[in-house]
Amino acid sequence: MFEHLKEQPKDKILALMQTYRDDPRDTKIDLGVGVYKNPQGVTPIMRAVKEAERRWWDDETTKAYTGLAGDPAFADAMIALVLGDAVPRDQVAAVATPGGTGAVRQAFELVKMANPQVRVFVSDPTWPNHLSILKHLGMETVAYRYFDESSGGVDFEGMIEDLGQVRAGDVVLLHGCCHNPTGANLNMVQFRAVIDLMNDKGATPMIDIAYQGFGDGLEADAAATRAVAAGCPETLIAASCSKNFGIYRERTGLLMAVAQDKGMHAVTQGNLAYLNRQNYSFPPDHGARLVSIVLGNDDLRADWQTELEEVRTGMLALREQLASELQRLSGSDRFGFVAQHRGMFSRLGIAPELVDRLRDEHAIYMVGDSRINIAGLNKETVPVLARAIIDVGA
Asked if 53 and 74 count as a contact pair (C-beta separation under 8 A), the reply is no
Q: State which residue, 321 or 370, has the beta carbon closest to ligand PLP.
A: 370
* Closest to 171 (Cα-Cα) out of 93, 109, 129: 109
Whether 15 sits among the annotated catalytic residues: the reply is no
**Helix residue ranges, H only, 37-127:** 47-59, 72-83, 99-114
Say which residues have a Cβ less than 8 Å from residue 183's Cβ, sequence separation at least 6.
337, 338, 341, 342, 343, 344, 345, 346, 347
Q: What is the DSSP string of 189-220?
A: HHHHHHHHHHHHHT-EEEEEE--TTSSS-HHH
Q: Catalytic residue among 243, 285, 323, 386, which?
A: 243
Q: State which residue, 14 or 137, has the beta carbon closest to ligand TYF.
A: 14
Per DSSP bridges, beta strands 204-209 and 234-240 are parallel
Beta strands, E only, the chain: 29-30, 92-97, 119-124, 140-145, 147-148, 153-154, 171-175, 204-209, 234-240, 253-259, 345-347, 364-365, 371-373
267 binds ligand TYF (CB under 6 A): no
373 binds ligand PLP (CB under 6 A): no
- Give the DSSP letter of residue 9: P
**Helix residue ranges, H only, 243-297:** 265-279, 286-296
Q: Tell me phi and psi for residue 256, to 5 degrees.
A: -115, 140
Q: State which residue, 185 or 271, has the beta carbon closest to ligand TYF.
A: 185
Identify residue 316 by its one-letter amino acid code: L
Whether 127 sits among the annotated catalytic residues: the reply is yes
Dist CA 304 CA 81 (whole Å): 13
Q: State which residue, 99 or 213, has the beta carbon closest to ligand PLP.
A: 99
Give the one entry of ligand PLP, ligand TYF, none that residue 248 binds, where binding means its C-beta sits below a cut-off of 5 to 8 angstroms depending on kind.
Answer: ligand PLP
70 binds ligand PLP (CB under 6 A): no
- Give the DSSP letter of residue 105: H
Residues 172-211 that bind ligand TYF (CB under 6 A): 180
239 binds ligand TYF (CB under 6 A): no
Dist CA 258 CA 233 (whole Å): 8
Q: Catalytic residue among 30, 148, 170, 208, which?
A: 208
Using a 10 angstrom Cβ sphere, with 0-12 exposed, 13-18 middle and 19 or more buried, the burial of residue 283 is: buried
36 binds ligand TYF (CB under 6 A): no
Asked if 52 and 250 count as a contact pair (C-beta separation under 8 A), the reply is no
Closest approach of ligand PLP to the CB of residue 100, in Å:
3
99 binds ligand PLP (CB under 6 A): yes
Applying CB under 6 A, the site for ligand TYF has a residue count of 8
Closest approach of ligand PLP to the CB of residue 126, in Å:
8
80 binds ligand TYF (CB under 6 A): no
Selected range binding ligand TYF among 10-18, 195-203, 219-227, 300-308, rule: CB under 6 A = 10-18
Q: State which residue, 98 or 392, has the beta carbon closest to ligand PLP.
A: 98
127 binds ligand PLP (CB under 6 A): yes
Selected range binding ligand TYF among 7-15, 147-155, 325-333, 347-355, rule: CB under 6 A = 7-15
Residues 119-178 that bind ligand TYF (CB under 6 A): 127, 129
Residue whose CB is nearest to ligand PLP in the complex, by number: 99
Q: Tell me phi and psi for residue 65, to 5 degrees.
A: -55, 150
Candidates 182, 204, 240, 321: give the one binding ligand PLP (CB under 6 A).
240
250 binds ligand PLP (CB under 6 A): no
Whether 208 sits among the annotated catalytic residues: the reply is yes
Candidates 30, 34, 120, 245: give the one binding ligand TYF (CB under 6 A).
34
Whether 285 sits among the annotated catalytic residues: the reply is no
Residues serving a catalytic function are: 127, 208, 210, 243
Q: Which residues bind ligand TYF (CB under 6 A)?
A: 11, 13-14, 33-34, 127, 129, 180
Q: Which residues bind ligand PLP (CB under 6 A)?
A: 34, 99-101, 104, 127, 175, 180, 208, 210, 240, 242, 248, 253
